[in-house]
Structure 1
Amino acid sequence: MKRDSRLSGVLHVLLHMAEAGAPVTSEAMARAMQTNPVVVRRIMAGLRDMGFVRSEKGHGGGWTMARDLASITLRDVYTALGAPEPFALGHRTESPGCLVEQAVNAALDGAFRDAEALLLDRFGEVTLAALSADFHARMVASGKTIDLESVHAA
Protein backbone atom coordinates (compact mmCIF):
# COMPACT_ATOMS: atom_id res chain seq x y z
CA MET A 1 0.00 0.00 0.00
CA LYS A 2 1.35 3.41 -1.00
CA ARG A 3 1.91 5.89 1.80
CA ASP A 4 0.49 9.41 1.66
CA SER A 5 3.55 11.60 2.13
CA ARG A 6 1.92 14.95 1.37
CA LEU A 7 2.10 16.15 4.99
CA SER A 8 5.80 15.43 5.21
CA GLY A 9 6.46 17.00 1.81
CA VAL A 10 4.43 20.12 2.54
CA LEU A 11 6.06 20.62 5.93
CA HIS A 12 9.42 20.25 4.19
CA VAL A 13 8.75 22.96 1.61
CA LEU A 14 7.06 25.28 4.14
CA LEU A 15 10.25 25.28 6.19
CA HIS A 16 12.34 25.92 3.10
CA MET A 17 9.96 28.77 2.19
CA ALA A 18 10.41 30.29 5.63
CA GLU A 19 14.18 30.18 5.16
CA ALA A 20 14.16 31.55 1.62
CA GLY A 21 13.40 35.19 2.38
CA ALA A 22 11.96 35.49 -1.14
CA PRO A 23 9.04 33.92 -3.01
CA VAL A 24 9.54 30.24 -3.89
CA THR A 25 8.14 28.99 -7.18
CA SER A 26 5.89 25.98 -7.55
CA GLU A 27 8.54 24.49 -9.81
CA ALA A 28 11.23 24.68 -7.11
CA MET A 29 8.87 23.14 -4.57
CA ALA A 30 7.89 20.41 -7.04
CA ARG A 31 11.54 19.44 -7.43
CA ALA A 32 11.90 19.27 -3.63
CA MET A 33 8.74 17.15 -3.29
CA GLN A 34 9.55 15.09 -6.40
CA THR A 35 6.18 15.83 -7.94
CA ASN A 36 4.53 17.99 -10.58
CA PRO A 37 4.19 21.78 -10.13
CA VAL A 38 0.43 21.42 -10.72
CA VAL A 39 0.20 19.14 -7.68
CA VAL A 40 2.14 21.71 -5.64
CA ARG A 41 -0.14 24.55 -6.76
CA ARG A 42 -3.21 22.53 -5.79
CA ILE A 43 -1.80 21.78 -2.33
CA MET A 44 -0.58 25.34 -1.82
CA ALA A 45 -3.98 26.73 -2.82
CA GLY A 46 -5.48 24.86 0.14
CA LEU A 47 -2.84 26.33 2.44
CA ARG A 48 -3.52 29.79 0.98
CA ASP A 49 -7.24 29.34 1.64
CA MET A 50 -6.37 28.68 5.30
CA GLY A 51 -4.22 31.84 5.40
CA PHE A 52 -0.89 30.07 5.90
CA VAL A 53 0.75 31.11 2.62
CA ARG A 54 0.23 33.71 -0.08
CA SER A 55 1.11 33.73 -3.76
CA GLU A 56 2.58 36.46 -5.91
CA LYS A 57 2.20 36.33 -9.67
CA GLY A 58 4.61 37.40 -12.36
CA HIS A 59 8.38 37.71 -12.62
CA GLY A 60 9.92 37.19 -9.19
CA GLY A 61 6.66 35.75 -7.91
CA GLY A 62 5.97 32.56 -6.07
CA TRP A 63 4.81 31.43 -2.65
CA THR A 64 5.65 33.03 0.70
CA MET A 65 4.60 32.42 4.29
CA ALA A 66 1.61 34.52 5.35
CA ARG A 67 1.75 33.76 9.07
CA ASP A 68 4.37 33.40 11.73
CA LEU A 69 5.67 29.84 12.05
CA ALA A 70 4.79 29.80 15.76
CA SER A 71 1.11 30.21 14.86
CA ILE A 72 0.91 27.14 12.59
CA THR A 73 0.82 23.60 13.97
CA LEU A 74 1.31 20.30 12.22
CA ARG A 75 -2.39 19.69 12.85
CA ASP A 76 -3.26 22.92 11.01
CA VAL A 77 -1.33 21.77 7.96
CA TYR A 78 -2.78 18.25 8.22
CA THR A 79 -6.29 19.75 8.29
CA ALA A 80 -5.51 22.05 5.35
CA LEU A 81 -4.51 18.95 3.36
CA GLY A 82 -8.00 17.55 3.91
CA ALA A 83 -7.16 15.41 6.97
CA PRO A 84 -5.98 12.36 5.03
CA GLU A 85 -6.27 8.92 6.63
CA PRO A 86 -3.38 8.78 9.10
CA PHE A 87 -2.97 5.00 9.01
CA ALA A 88 -2.63 2.46 6.22
CA LEU A 89 -4.33 -0.16 8.39
CA GLY A 90 -8.02 -0.85 7.99
CA HIS A 91 -10.78 -3.40 8.12
CA ARG A 92 -10.85 -6.40 5.85
CA THR A 93 -14.50 -5.57 5.16
CA GLU A 94 -16.41 -2.51 6.34
CA SER A 95 -19.81 -4.21 6.84
CA PRO A 96 -19.13 -7.84 7.62
CA GLY A 97 -21.87 -10.40 8.08
CA CYS A 98 -19.56 -12.60 10.13
CA LEU A 99 -19.85 -12.05 13.89
CA VAL A 100 -16.14 -12.76 14.36
CA GLU A 101 -15.29 -10.08 11.82
CA GLN A 102 -17.66 -7.69 13.61
CA ALA A 103 -15.83 -8.32 16.89
CA VAL A 104 -12.46 -7.77 15.19
CA ASN A 105 -13.68 -4.52 13.58
CA ALA A 106 -15.05 -3.24 16.89
CA ALA A 107 -11.69 -3.82 18.59
CA LEU A 108 -9.80 -2.21 15.73
CA ASP A 109 -12.18 0.77 15.61
CA GLY A 110 -11.46 1.62 19.23
CA ALA A 111 -7.72 1.27 18.79
CA PHE A 112 -7.74 3.33 15.58
CA ARG A 113 -9.79 6.11 17.23
CA ASP A 114 -7.46 6.22 20.23
CA ALA A 115 -4.33 6.23 18.07
CA GLU A 116 -5.70 8.93 15.76
CA ALA A 117 -6.72 11.14 18.72
CA LEU A 118 -3.25 10.77 20.24
CA LEU A 119 -1.56 11.54 16.92
CA LEU A 120 -3.71 14.61 16.25
CA ASP A 121 -3.15 15.89 19.80
CA ARG A 122 0.60 15.59 19.24
CA PHE A 123 0.31 17.33 15.85
CA GLY A 124 -1.46 20.18 17.64
CA GLU A 125 1.48 20.58 20.05
CA VAL A 126 4.18 20.94 17.38
CA THR A 127 4.51 24.25 15.57
CA LEU A 128 6.42 25.03 12.42
CA ALA A 129 8.61 27.24 14.62
CA ALA A 130 9.61 24.16 16.64
CA LEU A 131 10.47 22.29 13.42
CA SER A 132 12.46 25.31 12.24
CA ALA A 133 14.39 25.43 15.53
CA ASP A 134 15.21 21.72 15.21
CA PHE A 135 16.34 22.29 11.62
CA HIS A 136 18.59 25.18 12.69
CA ALA A 137 20.15 23.10 15.45
CA ARG A 138 20.83 20.31 12.96
CA MET A 139 22.31 22.76 10.46
CA VAL A 140 24.66 24.25 13.07
CA ALA A 141 25.70 20.78 14.22
CA SER A 142 26.38 19.69 10.63
CA GLY A 143 28.30 22.82 9.68
CA LYS A 144 26.32 22.98 6.43
CA THR A 145 24.21 25.68 4.84
CA ILE A 146 21.06 24.53 3.15
CA ASP A 147 18.78 26.08 0.56
CA LEU A 148 15.90 24.66 -1.47
CA GLU A 149 17.58 24.95 -4.87
CA SER A 150 20.99 23.43 -4.11
CA VAL A 151 19.82 20.70 -1.74
CA HIS A 152 17.16 19.43 -4.12
CA ALA A 153 18.95 19.92 -7.43
CA ALA A 154 18.33 17.01 -9.74
Structure 2
Amino acid sequence: MGANSRLTIATHALAWMALNERSGAELTTSEQIAGSVKTNPVVIRRLMSEMGKAGLISSQRGANAGWRLAKAPEAISLRDINDALGAEAAFAMHRNEPSAICPVARGIRPALAPVYARVDDAVSRELAATSLADVLRDTLGVDGA
Protein backbone atom coordinates (compact mmCIF):
# COMPACT_ATOMS: atom_id res chain seq x y z
CA MET A 1 0.00 0.00 0.00
CA GLY A 2 1.63 3.23 -1.17
CA ALA A 3 1.32 6.65 0.36
CA ASN A 4 -0.84 9.25 -1.37
CA SER A 5 1.24 12.06 -2.91
CA ARG A 6 -1.63 14.36 -3.92
CA LEU A 7 -1.07 16.69 -0.94
CA THR A 8 2.63 16.95 -1.82
CA ILE A 9 1.92 17.68 -5.48
CA ALA A 10 -0.80 20.22 -4.69
CA THR A 11 1.41 21.96 -2.13
CA HIS A 12 4.30 21.99 -4.62
CA ALA A 13 1.99 23.55 -7.23
CA LEU A 14 0.68 26.25 -4.89
CA ALA A 15 4.17 27.05 -3.56
CA TRP A 16 5.39 27.38 -7.14
CA MET A 17 2.48 29.72 -7.85
CA ALA A 18 3.33 31.80 -4.77
CA LEU A 19 6.95 32.11 -5.88
CA ASN A 20 5.88 32.94 -9.43
CA GLU A 21 3.56 35.65 -8.14
CA ARG A 22 6.27 36.98 -5.83
CA SER A 23 8.44 37.33 -8.97
CA GLY A 24 5.77 39.54 -10.55
CA ALA A 25 3.78 37.07 -12.64
CA GLU A 26 0.04 37.56 -12.64
CA LEU A 27 -0.88 34.04 -13.70
CA THR A 28 0.60 30.58 -13.65
CA THR A 29 -0.11 27.83 -16.21
CA SER A 30 -0.39 24.10 -15.75
CA GLU A 31 2.55 23.64 -18.11
CA GLN A 32 4.79 25.80 -15.90
CA ILE A 33 3.84 23.92 -12.75
CA ALA A 34 4.06 20.52 -14.48
CA GLY A 35 7.62 21.32 -15.53
CA SER A 36 8.60 21.82 -11.91
CA VAL A 37 6.68 18.82 -10.57
CA LYS A 38 7.76 16.64 -13.53
CA THR A 39 4.25 15.43 -14.23
CA ASN A 40 1.66 15.80 -16.93
CA PRO A 41 -0.16 19.16 -17.07
CA VAL A 42 -3.45 17.24 -16.93
CA VAL A 43 -2.56 16.08 -13.41
CA ILE A 44 -1.97 19.69 -12.42
CA ARG A 45 -5.21 20.89 -14.01
CA ARG A 46 -7.18 18.28 -12.05
CA LEU A 47 -5.60 19.37 -8.78
CA MET A 48 -6.10 23.05 -9.62
CA SER A 49 -9.77 22.36 -10.25
CA GLU A 50 -10.06 21.08 -6.69
CA MET A 51 -8.09 24.04 -5.34
CA GLY A 52 -10.40 26.41 -7.21
CA LYS A 53 -13.56 24.78 -5.84
CA ALA A 54 -12.13 25.26 -2.34
CA GLY A 55 -11.46 28.95 -2.99
CA LEU A 56 -7.69 28.65 -2.68
CA ILE A 57 -7.02 29.80 -6.24
CA SER A 58 -8.87 31.68 -8.95
CA SER A 59 -8.65 31.08 -12.66
CA GLN A 60 -8.64 33.13 -15.80
CA ARG A 61 -9.87 31.56 -19.00
CA GLY A 62 -9.14 32.46 -22.58
CA ALA A 63 -6.00 33.24 -24.54
CA ASN A 64 -4.01 34.16 -21.42
CA ALA A 65 -5.43 31.42 -19.22
CA GLY A 66 -3.92 30.53 -15.88
CA TRP A 67 -4.34 30.59 -12.12
CA ARG A 68 -3.47 32.84 -9.25
CA LEU A 69 -3.67 32.35 -5.53
CA ALA A 70 -6.99 33.60 -4.13
CA LYS A 71 -5.45 34.12 -0.69
CA ALA A 72 -2.06 35.14 0.63
CA PRO A 73 0.27 32.16 1.17
CA GLU A 74 0.20 32.96 4.89
CA ALA A 75 -3.57 32.40 4.88
CA ILE A 76 -3.46 28.97 3.24
CA SER A 77 -2.68 26.06 5.54
CA LEU A 78 -1.71 22.56 4.57
CA ARG A 79 -5.01 21.50 6.15
CA ASP A 80 -6.84 23.81 3.72
CA ILE A 81 -5.05 22.12 0.82
CA ASN A 82 -5.68 18.65 2.21
CA ASP A 83 -9.35 19.44 2.79
CA ALA A 84 -9.64 20.72 -0.79
CA LEU A 85 -8.37 17.35 -1.96
CA GLY A 86 -11.07 15.54 0.00
CA ALA A 87 -8.98 14.57 3.00
CA GLU A 88 -9.36 10.98 4.00
CA ALA A 89 -8.73 9.33 7.33
CA ALA A 90 -5.22 8.02 7.87
CA PHE A 91 -6.53 4.57 8.76
CA ALA A 92 -9.76 2.71 8.08
CA MET A 93 -11.52 -0.31 9.45
CA HIS A 94 -11.61 -3.41 7.30
CA ARG A 95 -14.40 -3.40 4.74
CA ASN A 96 -15.95 -6.73 5.67
CA GLU A 97 -18.03 -7.09 8.79
CA PRO A 98 -15.97 -9.11 11.28
CA SER A 99 -17.22 -12.41 12.67
CA ALA A 100 -19.86 -11.91 15.35
CA ILE A 101 -18.72 -15.03 17.22
CA CYS A 102 -15.08 -13.98 17.61
CA PRO A 103 -14.26 -11.86 20.69
CA VAL A 104 -11.46 -10.03 18.84
CA ALA A 105 -13.74 -9.33 15.88
CA ARG A 106 -16.47 -7.95 18.16
CA GLY A 107 -14.09 -5.61 19.95
CA ILE A 108 -11.56 -4.52 17.34
CA ARG A 109 -13.56 -1.66 15.89
CA PRO A 110 -14.51 -0.09 19.25
CA ALA A 111 -10.89 -0.48 20.39
CA LEU A 112 -9.31 1.08 17.31
CA ALA A 113 -11.87 3.82 16.48
CA PRO A 114 -10.75 6.25 19.22
CA VAL A 115 -7.07 5.64 18.41
CA TYR A 116 -7.68 6.38 14.75
CA ALA A 117 -9.69 9.49 15.66
CA ARG A 118 -6.76 10.79 17.74
CA VAL A 119 -4.36 10.14 14.85
CA ASP A 120 -6.60 12.06 12.45
CA ASP A 121 -6.92 14.93 14.93
CA ALA A 122 -3.14 15.09 15.35
CA VAL A 123 -2.60 15.11 11.58
CA SER A 124 -5.21 17.83 11.14
CA ARG A 125 -3.62 19.99 13.87
CA GLU A 126 -0.15 19.61 12.35
CA LEU A 127 -1.36 20.49 8.86
CA ALA A 128 -3.29 23.49 10.22
CA ALA A 129 -0.15 24.78 11.95
CA THR A 130 1.82 24.98 8.69
CA SER A 131 1.06 27.62 6.07
CA LEU A 132 1.93 27.65 2.40
CA ALA A 133 4.24 30.58 3.23
CA ASP A 134 6.05 28.35 5.77
CA VAL A 135 6.51 25.63 3.16
CA LEU A 136 7.80 28.09 0.56
CA ARG A 137 10.20 29.67 3.06
CA ASP A 138 11.54 26.29 4.15
CA THR A 139 11.72 25.04 0.56
CA LEU A 140 13.74 28.02 -0.60
CA GLY A 141 16.00 27.70 2.42
CA VAL A 142 17.05 24.19 1.43
CA ASP A 143 19.30 25.29 -1.41
CA GLY A 144 20.06 28.74 -0.04
CA ALA A 145 17.85 30.45 -2.64
SS in 2 for 1:91: coil
1:95 alignment partner AA = E
Does the residue aligned with 1:51 lie in a helix, a strand or coil?
Answer: coil
1:128 to 2:114 alignment: no
**Separation (CA, whole Å) in 1 of partners of 2:45 and 2:116:** 32
- Per-residue CA deviation, residues 88-127 of structure 1 (Å, 9 max, x unaligned), is x443454212321232232222211111111101111111
Paired with 1:41 and 1:69, the residues of 2 have a C-alpha distance of 20
Shift in Å, 1:135 = 1.9
Q: Which residue of 2 aligns with 1:42?
A: 46
Unaligned runs of at least 5 residues, structure 2: none
Q: 1:113 — aligned with what? A: 117
Q: Note the C-alpha offset of 1:20.
A: 1.1
Q: Partner residue of 1:24?
A: 28
SS in structure 1 at match of 2:97:
coil
Structure 1, unaligned runs of 5 or more: 146-154
Question: What SS does structure 2 have at the residue aligned with 1:54?
Answer: strand
Distance 1:31 1:102, change over 3 A: farther
Q: Which runs of 4+ in 1 moved over 6 A?
A: none
What root-mean-square deviation, in Å, do the aligned CA atoms of Structure 1 and Structure 2 show? Answer: 2.1
Match of residue 9 from structure 1: 9
* Matched residue SS, 1:55: strand
Q: Percent identity?
A: 31
